[in-house]
Structure formats: structure tokens, C-alpha cells
Amino acid sequence: MKKAVNIISKPQTNELRKRLLKMEVKDFTCFSSPLVLSFAQNKTYHIRTYGCQANMRDEEIMAGLLENVGFKKTDDILTANLIILNTCCVRENAENKVIGEIGSLKNYRLNNEDVLLAVCGCMVQQEHMIDLIVKKYRHVDLIFGTHNLDNLIELIDISLRDNSRVVDVKSRPIEIIEKLPSLRNLKHKAFVNISYGCDKFCTYCIVPYTRGQERSRPKEEILSECQELINNGYQEITLLGQNVNSYGKDLKNNATFSMLLEEVAKLKIPRLRFLTSHPFDFSSDIIEVMKTYPNIMKYVHLPVQSGSDEILKLMGRKYTSKQYLQIIKDLRKNLPGVHISTDLIVGFPGEGEEQFLETLEVVKEAAYESAFTFIYSSRVGTPAAKLIDNVSREVKGERFQRLVDTLEVSIKKAADQMVGKTYPVLVDGISKKKKEILSGYTETNKLVHFPGDESLIGQIVYVEILKSHLHSLRGKIVDGVNK
Ligand code: SAH
Ligand code: SF4
Ligand code: F3S
């Protein structure tokens, strides 16, 4: 059992809010040591990722770093020599899952002296969570944050050398690291970060504290990453950021998201997507670019959170329901067949029946094709945590159900309207339940299941929709492969 705890850095709550004016861009410098190289020999790693696409992309980067020094991936967590829990803390239940997992790995870790257990990601950007893990979960060897992923190999080296438990979680990012190695999860579709962090500070949200200052990557780096993916036969790229629409605002070179989107579209990737949009920064020039380039998928995820202006104000969302619905109108008018999805929170402090009914009205008017719904969860250190959480658990549950029922009307209608029509579908893989069934997504991000051969994975095929369910469709391939 490890003895000393080596605290290199811990995030300080008052530092988490600070924004530096300028970020330096640096190329990744590779680190390895004889100690790590000999430890990694014939050893395996397993990364368990929770949370959003930002974490999924971080997993790919960590995998790249680990493979560089000789680790091999395993799908079986209970045979891995290095286990990394890549965590999320956006809601309490996300954290509870991770804590449960850390506990369940105790015996495996303690019975295997040559195993390292690491916890990284958003959850440990919170000081109280570090304190909890250091004190209560003494079998965790390594804790590092979202701002120093690139130091992973160095941290493993320190832990091995000193036989210590290492904590290195920075309060804020100090630079943007380019040319990071990565081992991508899929061979046909990829996430490309265009910006990191978030400066919106919605009052309920922990992300600006865990991911830090919004920082846009240089355009040239993004374009060259996209070009390389295209050269390697990728069919789909999703440009990624907590708020993609504000891309470039920190660059001081007049770069905008719509300009970047256009330049990536011109590279001729067959399918181009972007995630997530914020209504405050969603300008009409984005719609213009979407209209011009058929390879930009006609799908927009535009979180509304609430339909009540009063609640939107308390949430710090910086738009009214009227302004939001105007964007929806513009999207539907200019992009026929567009699918729009959203995120909604019920039970925010101060939400009464009247405010909730306003949300239902906006939901009806927006007529979403899909949606993600959440019950408000108070997060330590956010401004909303100081508000009195005056909506009871029962009322939150009941509103959640009414919201889901209302959303289902337009979701079901949109799915039903697809029956009998044929759509191009990018084949993702075989279905979890049946091996002879393939699954993939339409251009508007609808999940489709259909019989077909595994060899079609990664290709775009034409599928006629035969039956609709709420969250997926069933169909059959009609036209062979579209190359
Ligand atoms: N940057 C993205 C992702 C944020 S997290 C965006 O702005 O959309 C994804 C969703 O989680 C948010 O849109 C919000 O609906 C939900 N969420 C965030 N914090 C929450 C909290 N404290 N309680 C409940 N839901 C929350
Ligand atoms: Fe959180 Fe708001 Fe930023 Fe999204 S835009 S990550 S909800 S603070
Ligand atoms: Fe979770 Fe962090 Fe993403 S809190 S939602 S993993 S940015």
C-alpha cells in the first residue's frame, strides 16, 4: 500500500473563476522514462469515460499517450494494469456513479500491487472531491485534472518512482497544447476540438470551473487535423466545443465560427457536424453557411434549458424565449428538413407551475425532433447553489414526466414522418443486441437499425425506413453502397 501523498497542485476555488487574457499555444513535448517504459512493457490500460464528448476526446488523447510508451488497451477492467476513471460532475448522479466505481475497484487494486488506479476529468477539478478521495479512497494512486492531461506519463513516472499517491490538478489552463498524440475510438467518424472551456457561467453549471477559460484553437491546427482525418478516409467530423458558436472571440483576429465552419466544409468531408450551440451566440451567418454547403448536416443541438424568461434570467442564459424561438423559426425556414434537439432542466430554484407551463409552451412551439431532459442538481460553488432549492422532489419528478410526455408528441411525429422514405445512413457498427443488425445515423442524427453485413461499417448506405420508434427507426438497405 502506498504511503505518502504527493500533492503537486490542487485547484483553488477562488482561482477557478479567473480568466487570463491571452493563451499561449505550444506543441506537445513527448516525455518518457526508463521506469515508465519498463512498467508499460506487456502491460494493459483501461479508460472508463463518463460524461460528454469533451471527455470522450480526452480519452482518445490519453490512449495515444499511453500507447506511445508501450501500454496496450484492454476491454476488461479487472485485468488492466492501469485503470483510469475519466469523470464527470455535471449532475450529482454522475458523481455518485464514479464514487461507486472507485469503491468497487478497491479489492482489485489492493490485491494487485502492480496495478495503478487513476482518477481524472471534471470531478477532481473540485477541491472537495480531491479531499474526499485522498482521505476515504486510499487505493487511488493518481489524481489529475482536465488542464494537464498531457502530463499523464510524467505523473505515472512520479508515482512509480516515489511509490507515492500523486495529486496534480491545476486551477486553470495556462496554455493550449497542440499536436497531441491520440488513438481515435472509431475509424470513420471523429470529434475535433475547436475550443476548450466555457466563459458563459450559466448559474447552475459546473463546466466553466472544471474546464476553465474558453480558448479557441488556432484555425490552421483545426484545418490540418480535419484534413488528416479526410486523408485517412473519415466520413464524418464533429466540431466540438462547450459553446462552438463563440469560436474565435478570444483570438482577436476576427475569426468567427461560421468562417471556420465554411473552411472545414470546403475540405469536402462527407458529413460535418458541430456541438454544442448556445442561442446567445448563434448568429444568422451560421445558417447561411449551413444552407450553402450540403455536407454540413441539417441538425442543430440548441439547448433552451427553460421556456420561462424569469428562470432563463436566473440561469444567466442571456436570451429570452422569444429570441430563442426566432432562431428556431429562422432555422426551419432556411433549412427545410432540419432536425433540432435541445437540453432542458426542470426544477430550477424558483420554478413554479406558471414558469413550468411556459417551458411546455416553448417545447410545443419549437416542435423538437429530439431532446435531453434533466432534473436540476445543485453543484457546489455555482451561483445557483446559493438559491433556495424550493421545488420538492415529487414536483420535480412530476414535471419531468409531463415535460417528457410533451416532448414525445413532436418527436414521435417527426419519426413517423420518416417512415416510407429513404435516407443516407452512415453505418456505425453492429447492434448491441443482434449481430446481423447494423446501426447508423441519418444526416439529421436519427438512429436507424437495419439488417446488413459488418463489412459496411464506416460506409454511407441508403436505408428505407419501415418502422418508427420514439428514439430509433427500423429499415432496410435499398440501394447498395453510396461511395
Ligand atoms: N456546453 C454544453 C453542455 C453543458 S452540460 C451546453 O451548454 O449545452 C449538458 C447539459 O447538462 C446542459 O445543457 C444542461 O441542460 C445540463 N446541466 C448542466 N448543469 C446542470 C445541473 N446543475 N443540473 C441539471 N442539469 C444540468
Ligand atoms: Fe455550462 Fe452554460 Fe457553458 Fe453550457 S454554456 S457549458 S450550460 S456554462
Ligand atoms: Fe461532465 Fe465535464 Fe462534460 S462535467 S458534461 S464531462 S465538461
CATH number of 450's domain: 2.40.50.140
Nearest-CA residue for atom 3 of ligand 3:
52
414 and 407 Cβ atoms separated by less than 8 Å: no
Q: What is the pLDDT of residue 432?
A: 80
**Residue 374 near ligand 1, beta carbon < 6 Å:** yes
CA-CA distance, 199 to 211, in Å (whole number)? 10
**CA distances from residue 338 to 287, 330, 333 in whole angstroms, order as listed:** 11, 11, 9
Q: What single string gives the DSSP state of each residue in 245-300?
A: GGTTTTTSS---HHHHHHHHHHTT-SEEEEE---GGG--HHHHHHHHH-TTB-SEE
**Residue 88 near ligand 3, beta carbon < 6 Å:** yes
Residues 165 and 285 in one domain: no
Residues 408 and 465 in one domain: no
CA-CA distance, 338 to 287, in Å (whole number)? 11
Ligand nearest to the CA of 123: 3
Q: Which of 150, 72, 82, 90 is nearest to 112 (CA)?
A: 82
**C-alpha cell at position 267:** 475540405
| Burial per residue of 89-123, b for 16 or more beta-carbon CB atoms within 10 angstroms, e otherwise | bbbeebbeebbebbeebeebbeeeeebbbbbbbbb
Mutate to test the pocket of ligand 2, among 243, 275, 348 (most ligand atoms within 8 A of CB): 243
**CA distances from residue 300 to 134, 183, 245, 275 in whole angstroms, order as listed:** 41, 27, 12, 8
Residues 260 and 369 in one domain: yes
**C-alpha cell at position 349:** 430554484
Please give the residue range of the domain that contains residue 234: 182-416
> The CATH number of the domain where 364 resides is what?
3.80.30.20
Domain stops at, among 393, 416, 439: 416
**Residue 207 near ligand 3, beta carbon < 6 Å:** yes
Give 170-207 as a 3 state SS string: CCCCCEEEECCCCCCCCCCEEEEECEECCCCCCCCCCH
**Residue 106 near ligand 2, beta carbon < 6 Å:** no
Q: Find the 145 Cα to ligand 3 centroid distance in Å.
A: 12
Residue 211 Cα: closest atom of ligand 3: 7
Nearest-CA residue for atom 11 of ligand 1:
90
**Contacts (Cβ under 8 Å, ≥6 apart) of 321:** 304, 307, 308, 309, 312, 358, 362
Residues 351 and 470 in one domain: no
Domain stops at, among 115, 142, 175: 175
Classify burial at 371, counting beta carbons within 10 Å of its beta carbon; exposed 0-12, middle 13-18, buried 19 or more: buried
Residues 379 and 329 in one domain: yes
CA-CA distance, 141 to 217, in Å (whole number)? 32
Residues 63 and 138 in one domain: yes
Number of domains in the chain: 3
Residues 188 and 322 in one domain: yes
Q: Find the 382 Cα to ligand 1 centroid distance in Å.
A: 13
Residues 33 and 71 in one domain: yes
Ligand nearest to the CA of 304: 1
Residues 368 and 306 in one domain: yes
Residue 343 Cα: closest atom of ligand 1: 15
Q: What is the pLDDT of residue 1?
A: 58
**Residue 122 near ligand 3, beta carbon < 6 Å:** yes
- Beta-carbon count within 10 A of 472 CB: 14
Domain stops at, among 129, 149, 175: 175
348 and 204 Cβ atoms separated by less than 8 Å: yes
| Tens of pLDDT, residues 262-310 | 999 999 999 999 999 999 999 999 999 999 999 999 999 999 999 999 9
Q: What is the pLDDT of residue 200?
A: 97
| β-strand partners of 305 | 344
Residue 204 Cα: closest atom of ligand 1: 22
Ligand nearest to the CA of 121: 3
Q: E-assigned strands of 358-459?
A: 370-375, 422-430, 437-442, 447-451
Residues 384 and 458 in one domain: no
Q: Find the 55 Cα to ligand 2 centroid distance in Å.
A: 15
Split at pLDDT 50, 70, 90, the class of 480 is low
| β-strand partners of 27 | 178
Nearest-CA residue for atom 24 of ligand 1:
376
Given the DSSP bridges, would you call strands 72-73 and 44-49 parallel, antiparallel or unpaired?
Answer: parallel
Which range among 130-139, 219-228, 431-440 shows the weakest confidence by mean pLDDT?
431-440
Residues 361 and 227 in one domain: yes
Ligand nearest to the CA of 387: 1
| Burial per residue of 32-44, b for 16 or more beta-carbon CB atoms within 10 angstroms, e otherwise | ebeebeebbeebb
Q: Across residues 330-348, what is the average pLDDT?
A: 98
**What rounded mean pLDDT belongs to the chain?**
96
> The CATH number of the domain where 107 resides is what?
3.40.50.12160
Q: Find the 161 Cα to ligand 3 centroid distance in Å.
A: 31
| Tens of pLDDT, residues 144-180 | 999 999 999 999 999 999 999 999 999 999 899 999 9
Q: Which residue has 429513404 as its cell numbers?
A: 422
**Residue 205 near ligand 1, beta carbon < 6 Å:** yes
**pTM of the predicted protein model:** 0.96
Q: Find the 180 Cα to ligand 1 centroid distance in Å.
A: 27
Q: Across residues 55-66, what is the average pLDDT?
A: 98
Residues 252 and 117 in one domain: no
Q: What single string gives the DSSP state of each residue in 37-76?
A: HHHHTT-EEEEEE-SSHHHHHHHHHHHHHHHHTT-EE-S-
| Burial per residue of 138-163, b for 16 or more beta-carbon CB atoms within 10 angstroms, e otherwise | bbbbbbbbbbbbbbbbbbbbbbbeee
Percentage of the chain modeled with pLDDT above 90:
92
Nearest-CA residue for atom 2 of ligand 2:
202
Nearest-CA residue for atom 13 of ligand 1:
343
Ligand nearest to the CA of 92: 1
91 and 377 Cβ atoms separated by less than 8 Å: yes
Q: Which of 202, 193, 199, 192 is nearest to 214 (CA)?
A: 199
Check pLDDT > 90 for residue 2: no
Q: Which of 179, 184, 293, 178 is nearest to 232 (CA)?
A: 184
Q: Across residues 393-402, what is the average pLDDT?
A: 97
**CA distances from residue 430 to 159, 190, 235, 437 in whole angstroms, order as listed:** 40, 18, 17, 6
